[in-house]
């Protein structure tokens, strides 16, 4: 049997190799540095946006000063022509209230922006610090792109995220700044409620300049210069018949300060070791309306300073802004009283180191009370110039003065485009900025103990160096102007040691304690004449229209021509002792004697 035949099988194509498995994609662990850097960039960008926005609102607010608006300036100009136009006064008050409300809103917005800036900056600093601390590089498995040598993927997504977040933050900030409505009170009553003064009386708007000038709100008139316009003042009277004396009223408290007048209110202060008080009289008929003791003042020293009788505890003249009357006493108590006699606020500025007693009177300007506290020795830092908000007594600013004790009263003047506070103390005349108290200029010019106060007349600051000279300085300098801004010096051994000068724009007059009257030309400082009135004089002279009024210590009042030549026009006599300077308002003269107040003006007998 034959075996079966086996047919050979042709080989087929080779089998393809097996496909290797795809490696898994490596998972990159979170990068903490990258996240921290992103947060830091976001916080930094946010802070930068806050800064730019705050600067924008700051400079736009400065460029658009509401108190220089054409509408307000026009109303003030109109009021100067029509001082009794109540409708114009009300419009000014409304604008003033509107501007103050806008100012409070701006302050609230600035505070909000400051908090945002502080938060953003703090977050950026904190996160940046954390990022710096985590500098250790963590080894990561290579990605497929790295293994194959391909370029790394750019982190564009993170950058777009930062930009988007920053843009959103900017939009939110801008919208907040533009649409923010402050939660602060919108009116004076709301501010008092916020301060816990629910029952406080409403605070009236500050008066305009015309209303201030119509009254006598501080020592020596509205600007401290001792002058007033008008020719209807009765400067001559007859004590025996009573002609020219409208009224006289007894003073139940001792003091050497001058009367201050606002409307129908006349204010003086008095003081002893037992009590210090403010008294208010009616301008119309001399009635004592009220007297209020200033007591239990917070911070007041328990031990009173030793004060000579010749100065007393109430040598400083009060001041008023038409809504409060302000008084300071030799023990350092400073108080504000409402016109009904209630105390609005009171505080202690400290007992003064003054062997002759404190006698610098208060100055008032645009609702701010200026207190000059010169004390101690030269070169020490005991002396100060203080500014308080008259509405609530809060400090506005404080400036240390390295000068010795003095008794001069500061004045506030508008000169060289600035509001300046002029002060005197040996050996300096120093001018400070009203808004923040920084020093503007100073001149070395004075000797001895400084009692006479400065004045501003004919565009010059005039000051007396007692028993030596009268000096005049141009107020447009900066820094030490001793050698650059002296206008003139009038040497005079009869220069006063107590009373202050007075000027009318053409002439300046001084009166010594012995009654020697001197007249100099304001333009050049040339002495035109001197004359001995043969009087003992402590009160400062005054100019009323074209007449010079000099009040003697023993009650003699002399009226002179305020001109280039000496001319005595009249003399009158009162049976009292006078150390305080006269006040002028509403066509009447007000004198404070040792025992009585006097109002000189028309009476029934004169009509």
pLDDT per position as a tens digit, 207-261: 999 999 999 999 999 999 999 988 788 889 988 888 999 999 999 999 999 999 9
Q: Is the dihedral of CA 600, 342, 320, 68 positive or negative?
A: negative
User: What local confidence, expressed as pLDDT, does residue 54 receive?
Assistant: 74
- Report the number of secondary-structure helices (H) and strands (E) in the chain: 7, 34
Highest mean pLDDT among 75-84, 229-238, 267-276: 267-276
**pLDDT tens, position by position, 86-121:** 676 667 766 765 765 566 566 667 767 777 877 777
Closest CA to 399 of 427, 366, 365, 371: 371
Average pLDDT over every residue of 359-367:
97
Q: How far apart are the first and last CA of the chain?
A: 180
State the Cα–Cα distance between residues 42 and 119, nearest whole angstrom: 12
Does the pLDDT value for residue 72 go beyond 80? no
Cα 467 to Cα 334, 450, 491, 551: the distances in Å are 32, 11, 9, 20
* 3-state SS, residue 333: strand
User: What local confidence, expressed as pLDDT, does residue 388 receive?
Assistant: 98
Q: What is the mean pLDDT of the chain?
A: 84
User: What local confidence, expressed as pLDDT, does residue 122 receive?
Assistant: 78
DSSP string, 416-483: TTEEEEEEEETTEEEEEETTT--EEEEEE---S---SPPEEETTEEEEEETTTEEEEE-S---EE-TT
* 3-state SS, residue 281: strand
State the Cα–Cα distance between residues 552 and 42, nearest whole angstrom: 77
Q: What percent of the residues of the chain are helix, what percent strand, and what percent coil, each to the nearest 5?
A: 25, 30, 50
User: What local confidence, expressed as pLDDT, does residue 29 receive?
Assistant: 60
More confident residue, 393 or 56: 393
Give residue 52's region: left, alpha or beta (phi > 0; psi -120 to 50).
Answer: alpha
Does the pLDDT value for residue 4 go beyond 60? no
Highest mean pLDDT among 79-83, 199-203, 427-431: 427-431
Centre a 10 Å sphere on the Cβ of residue 152 and count the other Cβ atoms it contains: 8
Q: Are 326 and 364 in contact (CB under 8 A)?
A: yes
**Structure confidence at residue 353 as a pLDDT band (50, 70, 90):** confident
Q: Are 173 and 53 in contact (CB under 8 A)?
A: yes
548 forms beta bridges with 543, 560
Q: Are 31 and 158 in contact (CB under 8 A)?
A: no
Highest mean pLDDT among 110-124, 171-185, 198-212, 403-417: 403-417
Q: Are 381 and 368 in contact (CB under 8 A)?
A: no
Centre a 10 Å sphere on the Cβ of residue 540 and count the other Cβ atoms it contains: 25
Closest CA to 240 of 551, 602, 606, 572: 572
Sequence-distant (6+) residues with CB within 8 A of 127 are: 36, 39, 40, 43
DSSP string, 365-413: ETTEEEEEE--S-TTSS-EEEEEEETTT--EEEEEEE------PPPEEE
**How large is the C-alpha radius of gyration of the chain?**
38
* 3-state SS, residue 349: coil
The Cα diameter of the chain in Å comes to 187
User: What local confidence, expressed as pLDDT, does residue 167 receive?
Assistant: 57
- The pair of structure tokens assigned to 128 is 């940046």
**pLDDT tens, position by position, 468-489:** 999 999 999 999 999 999 999 9
Does the pLDDT value for residue 451 go beyond 60? yes
Closest CA to 57 of 189, 157, 180, 188: 180
Q: Are 326 and 335 in contact (CB under 8 A)?
A: yes
Q: Would the pTM count as exceeding 0.75?
A: no
Q: Which helix (H) or strand (E) holds 71?
A: helix 70-81
Q: Are 594 and 578 in contact (CB under 8 A)?
A: yes
State the Cα–Cα distance between residues 195 and 393, nearest whole angstrom: 13
Q: Is 138 exposed, middle or buried (0-12, 13-18, 19+ CB in 10 A)?
A: exposed
State the Cα–Cα distance between residues 304 and 602, nearest whole angstrom: 43
Q: Are 454 and 424 in contact (CB under 8 A)?
A: yes
């Amino acid at each position: 049997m034959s075996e079966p035949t086996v047919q050979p099988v042709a080989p087929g194509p080779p089998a393809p190799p097996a496909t290797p498995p795809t490696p898994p994609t490596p998972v990159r662990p979170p990068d903490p540095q990258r996240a921290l850097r992103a947060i830091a960039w976001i916080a930094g960008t946010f802070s930068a946006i806050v800064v730019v926005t705050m600067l924008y609102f700051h400079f736009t607010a400065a460029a658009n000063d509401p108190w220089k608006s054409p509408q307000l300036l026009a109303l003030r100009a109109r009021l100067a022509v029509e001082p009794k136009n109540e409708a114009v006064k009300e419009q000014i008050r409304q604008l003033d209230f509107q501007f103050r409300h806008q100012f409070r809103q701006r302050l609230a917005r600035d505070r909000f922006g400051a908090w945002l800036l502080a938060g953003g900056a703090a977050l950026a600093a904190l996160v940046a610090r954390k990022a710096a601390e985590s500098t250790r590089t963590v080894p990561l498995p290579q990605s497929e792109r790295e293994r194959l040598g391909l370029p790394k993927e750019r982190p564009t997504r993170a950058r777009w995220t930062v930009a988007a977040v920053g843009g959103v933050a900017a939009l939110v900030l801008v919208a907040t700044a533009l649409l923010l409505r402050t939660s602060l009170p919108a009116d004076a009553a709301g501010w008092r409620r916020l301060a816990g003064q629910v029952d406080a009386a409403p605070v009236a708007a500050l008066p305009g300049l015309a209303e201030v000038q119509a009254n006598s709100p501080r020592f020596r008139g509205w600007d401290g210069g001792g002058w007033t316009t008008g020719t209807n003042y009765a400067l001559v009277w007859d004590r025996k018949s009573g002609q020219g004396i409208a009224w006289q009223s007894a003073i139940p408290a001792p003091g050497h300060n001058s009367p201050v007048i606002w409307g129908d209110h006349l204010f003086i202060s008095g003081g002893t070791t037992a009590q210090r008080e403010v008294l208010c009289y009616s301008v119309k008929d001399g009635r004592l309306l009220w007297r209020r003791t200033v007591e239990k003042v917070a911070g007041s020293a328990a031990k009173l300073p030793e004060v000579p009788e010749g100065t007393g505890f109430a040598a400083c003249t009060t001041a008023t802004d038409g809504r409060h009357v302000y008084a300071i006493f030799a023990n350092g108590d400073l108080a504000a009283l409402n016109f009904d006699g209630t105390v609005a606020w009171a505080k202690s500025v400290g007992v003064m180191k003054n062997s002759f007693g404190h006698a610098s009177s208060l100055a008032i300007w645009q609702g701010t009370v200026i207190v000059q506290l010169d004390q101690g020795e030269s070169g020490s830092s005991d002396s100060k110039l203080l500014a308080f908000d008259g509405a609530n007594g809060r400090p506005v600013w404080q400036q240390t003065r390295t000068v010795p004790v003095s008794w001069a009263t500061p004045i506030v003047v508008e000169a060289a485009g600035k509001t300046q506070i002029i002060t005197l103390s040996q050996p300096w005349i120093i001018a400070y900025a009203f808004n923040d108290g920084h020093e503007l200029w100073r001149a070395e010019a004075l000797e001895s103990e400084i009692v006479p106060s400065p004045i501003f007349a004919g565009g010059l600051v005039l000051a007396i160096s007692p028993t030596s000279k009268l000096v005049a300085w141009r107020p447009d300098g900066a820094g030490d102007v001793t050698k650059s801004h002296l206008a003139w010096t009038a040497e005079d051994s009869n220069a006063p040691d107590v009373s202050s000068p007075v000027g009318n724009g053409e002439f300046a007059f001084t009166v010594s304690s012995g009654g020697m009257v001197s007249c100099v030309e304001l333009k050049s400082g040339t002495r035109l004449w001197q004359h001995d009135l043969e009087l003992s004089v402590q009160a400062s002279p005054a100019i009323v229209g074209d007449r010079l009024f000099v009040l003697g210590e023993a009650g003699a009042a002399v009226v002179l021509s305020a001109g280039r030549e000496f001319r005595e026009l009249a003399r009158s006599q009162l049976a009292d002792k006078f150390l305080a300077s006269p006040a002028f308002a509403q066509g009447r003269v007000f004198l404070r004697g040792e025992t009585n107040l006097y109002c000189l003006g028309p009476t029934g007998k004169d009509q």
